[in-house]
Amino acid sequence: MKKSILLFVAIVLQVSIATNAQNLPFSDYNQRWVDSVFQKLTPDERIAQLIMVAAYSNRDQAHIDAISELIRKQKIGGLVFFQGGPTRQVQQTNFYQSISKVPLLVAIDGEWGLGMRLDSTISYPYQMTLGAIQNDSLLYKMGVEVAMQCKRMGIHVNFAPVVDVNNNPNNPVINYRSFGENKENVARKSIAYMKGMQDNHILTTAKHFPGHGDTDADSHYDLPLIKKSRTQLDSLELYPFRKIIEAGIGGIMVAHLSIPSLDSTKNQPSTLSKPIISNLLKNELKFSGLAFTDAMNMKGVTKHYTPGMADAKAILAGNDVLEFTEDVPKAIEEIKKAIREKKITQAEIDARCRKVLAAKAWVGLDKWKSISLTNLSKDLNTPKAKLLNRQLTEAALTLLKNENTFLPLQKLDTLQIASVSVGAEKTTTFQRMLAKYTSVQHFVISKQATTADIKKVKDALAKFDLVVVGVHVPSVRPSKNYGITENMQKALTELSSINQKVIICHLGNAYTLPKFDFSKATAIVTTYQDNTIAQELAAQALFGAVSMSGKMPVSVSPVYPLNGGLGMNSIHRLKYTMPEEVGMNSELLERRIDSMANIALTQKATPGCQVLVAKNGKIIFHKTYGYLTYDNQRPTQEDDLYDLASVTKVTTSAPALMRLSDEGKFGLDKTLATYLPEYKNSNKKDIQFRDILTHQARLTAWIAFWKETVKDDGERNHKLFRTDSSKRFPVKIVDNLWLNRKYCKKIYKEINDSPLLPEKKYVYSDLSYYLYPRLVQLQTGKPFETYLKETFYLPIGATHLTYKPLRYYPIDQIVPTEYDSLFRKTLIHGTVHDEGAAMLDGLSGHAGLFGTANDVAKMMQMYLQMGEYGGQRFINEATLKEWTRYNDVSFSRRGIAFDKPDPKSPGLSAAAASSPESFGHSGFTGTFVWIDPKYQLVYVFMSNRVYPTRNNNKLGSLNIRTGVLQTIYEVIQKGEAK
């Protein structure tokens, strides 16, 4: 009879709970399973279901044995995993579950994802960072991803989010873990994060009730005292809890706080307070989910209460689950004692036990299966999850100051830029990303830099127009002044007072902003924390590759108020990101490109190569393969300079002529003699540039000018060469070989006098490109290279595009080409491979330009954007469309200066999937560029296939360059088909 009455009371309590929680996710869930399990539990085991103990996957066997003992003998209800690694934790979880009578409820503190506790997993941004985001749907997506990762790990409860309103800058425990000081913002973001998790059956636990945001003590080490009135608490601290309860949250964690206005008992932690938990949380706020205690080993509770006694008082106060119980047998005994003393009934314990079991059923423990270790790391670190991490960080970027709209940086040719990392020990990711956009000289000032060190850097900055300062705040935690040293503060004061324009990129907790004097800075950006992704995106934002829309989630001073943030739009410079951002599968893309590149290497088609892919204005793939030479001494690197060979045509002559066309200084339907007076009496005087640039002007394909400098016996004509430079012999062919200054005239005359082919047909010819540097200089009054750099390369930040690279770069940064056994009789390394260009002092319109894949991509992206890049227009859209369309397919597939897909033989000159709108060019040394407006695609392939001999044509015969391009199209199309 007594048993029936107790069961009836438990059922009534359960019905009451369900009635009060219309939105509670797990109420009434699989009651058949709940009833079945419950009936098999002894009264002691029902108490044990309310206990979760701490587990660590990075501890020894003794720890595992201790946990196993608690599971086998005490029948505890759950585990809270702390530090460790995913594989070890899954192995332990499987073992612990296998020995447990009832499946264990597994929890984790994952406020910013699994990375908060586990190595080799993703750490999403801190909640302060998330508080700056204006698009709350991103937080929902984060909740979804965290839920997926938890489920993959066999985790059922996430002790997150923190819904405390942090309105105390000196808060030692919440601080950056809060969404901020605005209660509405905290509530909105908490609910978004919660729904993302709970919609995927991960029980979410809001903390730390009734609000830990306005404390200056850490409850891990003491019992914080909150002196606020009930009215104050209602208006602020309780607001987010009230809203998230209304939204249906399944769990609330109660903090260890002393709050006299809610419970006047001296030294009474809120965790042990019936007025706070039963009366306020459950009755008044109508929360009927699981009330969890904060860790029961924290000083906030153990300072005044012993283990066991504290656990019992927590249950009496109304908590449903005890977290981190230190002495389980004693806790159970003390709770049993409370039942005997009628301080609580067994029926109340049973109702809470059934609620725990319902939650277990809802998270899937009614159908528990062992967790597979196969692909665990891969599943926890998906590209989708990594992309979301980048998107969250980007959305939080906050522009706090921007005098005269100085950002985003434009007209890069007018700026000499230096970067200084303060608080770092070596060149940072932030600095390396800056250098992808233009030439930047780097300096570092460590935390312990001396006055002399600071002065040395400051003096070196005098020659620069702009100084970009990365402030690397040592710690996100407020203790010990966030790790900020006096030397750091002094260095930043010094840097802020220089005469040049200064951009501050603050990488750290927003509360540290007032600790530095940035009043004289031209622009200030904050990222709220310092990690690789934040550094990368902050650097990109300065150049306008990404926008900035974040708003300050806290007020740290009148200069940096709540909701401060100016906002800034992108100006469409190339962004560096992941394939998933443009709908492509990164794993598939890399695997397919790797396969083609490895074929090239194993077949010795080239000793090394680079592949760069940009889509939708975003570089989503840039990878190097192999080595510079076949001796495998030096791997290829992203900043290597390649001899572009005929890609020179579309990076020098073509843009120059298009620009002159826009300015009325060049016309496609004009003749050669129009701009070059020496051709007025030539057989070529009436040839139009449209025919010349589409290779149908009857010009000879090429002339081996070098052969005329060699005698019949193979020896050089010593009247033309010297082993050292002089006024008469200033033209460097290679080291120890200098050509007579007048020989260039012979080259031009030979071109002038060369015969025309008998009929008009497609014959690819280099000859006219020898003439364009002179044509451009006549029309502009500037040397060809100067014109190119001033007009295109420097403004777009392509500072590595250059002729004669040894003037600016060490030889080990330049990729060698061929061992020339006939003319130069040496390895060609640092000078142009093409003999004709070499005889023109390394500078011609058809060959001679060197550059990195990254900088070539900028020129190609400018073409893709129809002549515009970085907020500047370089070529008119109509001009680019004219030059890149099919000119006359009855003669050839060519556009004007550009190659195009062959409509008669798809796959011959480009990938079979290339659209008719696409265009590009190849280079003899093994280079290739392709632009496809239909797919918003830029492709750059770099190699030195002519090393050590040009007779190696495997790169072409194996279709490596176009084969890689074809795979890129296939991955794009596969993504579009989804």
What digits encode the pLDDT tens for the residues 832-843? 999 999 999 999
The last residue of a domain, from among 340, 375, 410: 375
DSSP 104: P
Predicted pLDDT at 889: 85
* pLDDT, mean of residues 186-193: 98
pLDDT at 142 over 60: yes
353 and 266 housed in the same domain: yes
343 and 402 housed in the same domain: no
564 and 612 housed in the same domain: no
Contact 185, 131 (CB under 8 A): yes
The last residue of a domain, from among 536, 571, 606: 571
Rounded CA separation 177/213 (Å): 10
Output the domain CATH number for residue 417: 3.40.50.1700
Residue 633: pLDDT band with limits 50, 70, 90: very high
Q: Which residues contact 365 (CB under 8 A, 6 or more apart)?
A: 103, 104, 105, 156
596 and 517 housed in the same domain: no
* Interior angle at CA 966, CA 963 and CA 971, nearest 5: 130
Q: Which residues contact 543 (CB under 8 A, 6 or more apart)?
A: 408, 409, 434, 437, 438, 573, 797, 870
pLDDT at 16 over 60: no
pLDDT at 6 over 60: no
DSSP 167-181: --TT-SSSGGGSS-S
Predicted pLDDT at 905: 87
Rounded CA separation 618/615 (Å): 5
Contact 609, 947 (CB under 8 A): no
Of 271, 279, 287, the C-alpha closest to 16 is: 287
Two structure tokens written together for 670: 């004009």
Predicted pLDDT at 496: 85
414 and 325 housed in the same domain: no
Rounded CA separation 186/139 (Å): 12
Output the domain CATH number for residue 275: 3.20.20.300
Is 790 contained in some domain? yes
Is 385 contained in some domain? no
414 and 343 housed in the same domain: no
Rounded CA separation 616/865 (Å): 10
Residues 3-20: b if buried by 16+ CB within 10 A, e if exposed: eeebeebbeebbeebbee
Rounded CA separation 302/589 (Å): 55
Output the domain CATH number for residue 905: 3.40.710.10
**Quick check: bond before 773 cis, omega within 30?**
no
361 and 416 housed in the same domain: no
Start-to-end CA distance of the chain, whole Å, equals: 62
Instruction: Give residue for tokens 């009247």.
Output: 719
pLDDT at 4 over 80: no
Predicted pLDDT at 718: 87
By CB atoms closer than 10 A (0-12, 13-18, 19+), residue 519 is: exposed
Amino acid at the residue 574: L
Q: What are phi and psi of 609, to 5 degrees?
A: -160, 170
Is 586 contained in some domain? no
Contact 134, 395 (CB under 8 A): yes
Side-chain half-sphere of 495: how many Cα atoms within 13 Å? 35
User: Residue 251 belongs to what H/E stretch?
Assistant: strand 251-254
Predicted pLDDT at 19: 37
Rounded CA separation 697/565 (Å): 59
* Backbone angle region of 127, left / alpha / beta, with phi > 0 → left and psi within -120 to 50 → alpha: alpha
The last residue of a domain, from among 514, 542, 571: 571
pLDDT at 21 over 50: no
Q: Which is more confidently placed, 8 or 397?
A: 397
Residue 77: pLDDT band with limits 50, 70, 90: very high
Residue 303: pLDDT band with limits 50, 70, 90: confident
* pLDDT, mean of residues 871-878: 98
Q: What are phi and psi of 535, to 5 degrees?
A: -65, -45
Q: How many C-beta neighbours within 10 Å does residue 73 have? A: 11
559 and 595 housed in the same domain: no
Rounded CA separation 532/538 (Å): 10
Side-chain half-sphere of 6: how many Cα atoms within 13 Å? 12
- For 545-549, 717-721, 729-733, 932-936, which range has the lowest pLDDT when averaged over its residues? 717-721
Residue 20: pLDDT band with limits 50, 70, 90: very low
* pLDDT, mean of residues 530-546: 98
Contact 298, 253 (CB under 8 A): no
Q: Is 621 helix (H, G, I), strand (E, B) or coil?
A: strand
Average pLDDT for the chain: 95
Residue 706: pLDDT band with limits 50, 70, 90: very high
Rounded CA separation 40/154 (Å): 24
Amino acid at the residue 627: Y
Is 289 contained in some domain? yes
Predicted pLDDT at 603: 98
Q: What are phi and psi of 880, to 5 degrees?
A: -65, -40
Is 753 contained in some domain? yes
Rounded CA separation 131/176 (Å): 10
Rounded CA separation 325/301 (Å): 11
**pTM reported for the whole predicted model:** 0.95
Bridge partners of 641, per DSSP, are 814
Of 869, 894, 876, the C-alpha closest to 884 is: 894
404 and 319 housed in the same domain: no
- The pLDDT tens digits for 428-461 are 999 999 999 999 999 999 999 999 999 999 999 9
pLDDT at 54 over 90: yes
Predicted pLDDT at 8: 40
**CA 550, 555, 556, 560 torsion-angle sign:** positive
* pLDDT, mean of residues 615-619: 98
By CB atoms closer than 10 A (0-12, 13-18, 19+), residue 881 is: middle
* Interior angle at CA 87, CA 363 and CA 118, nearest 5: 75
Predicted pLDDT at 22: 38
Predicted pLDDT at 520: 94
* pLDDT, mean of residues 795-824: 97
371 and 415 housed in the same domain: no
Predicted pLDDT at 850: 98
Contact 541, 547 (CB under 8 A): yes
* pLDDT, mean of residues 16-27: 58
Is 580 contained in some domain? no
Amino acid at the residue 458: K
Is 358 contained in some domain? yes
Instruction: Give residue for tokens 């060809």.
Output: 784
Bridge partners of 203, per DSSP, are 157
Distances (CA, A) of 569 to 407, 544, 561, 955: 10, 7, 22, 42
Rounded CA separation 855/612 (Å): 11
Residue ranges making up the domain that contains 879:
591-977
pLDDT at 888 over 80: yes
Contact 668, 878 (CB under 8 A): no
Contact 64, 367 (CB under 8 A): no
> Per the structure, how many domains does the chain have?
3
Residue 965: pLDDT band with limits 50, 70, 90: very high
3-state secondary structure string across 697-757: CCCCCCCCHHHHHECCCCCECCCCEECCCCCCCCEEEECCEEECCCHHHHHHHHHHHCCCC
* pLDDT, mean of residues 187-200: 98
Bridge partners of 734, per DSSP, are 737
Residue 346: pLDDT band with limits 50, 70, 90: very high
Q: Is 236 helix (H, G, I), strand (E, B) or coil?
A: coil
Rounded CA separation 936/230 (Å): 59
Predicted pLDDT at 299: 87
Of 849, 866, 976, 843, the C-alpha closest to 917 is: 866
DSSP 124: P
Two structure tokens written together for 511: 């509360």
744 and 797 housed in the same domain: yes
- For 685-694, 858-867, 882-891, which range has the lowest pLDDT when averaged over its residues? 882-891
215 and 109 housed in the same domain: yes
Residue 656: pLDDT band with limits 50, 70, 90: very high
Contact 223, 300 (CB under 8 A): yes
Is 29 contained in some domain? yes
DSSP 259-290: -TTT--STT--GGG-HIIIIIIIIIIS---SE
Q: What are phi and psi of 251, to 5 degrees?
A: -140, 150
Q: Is 764 helix (H, G, I), strand (E, B) or coil?
A: coil
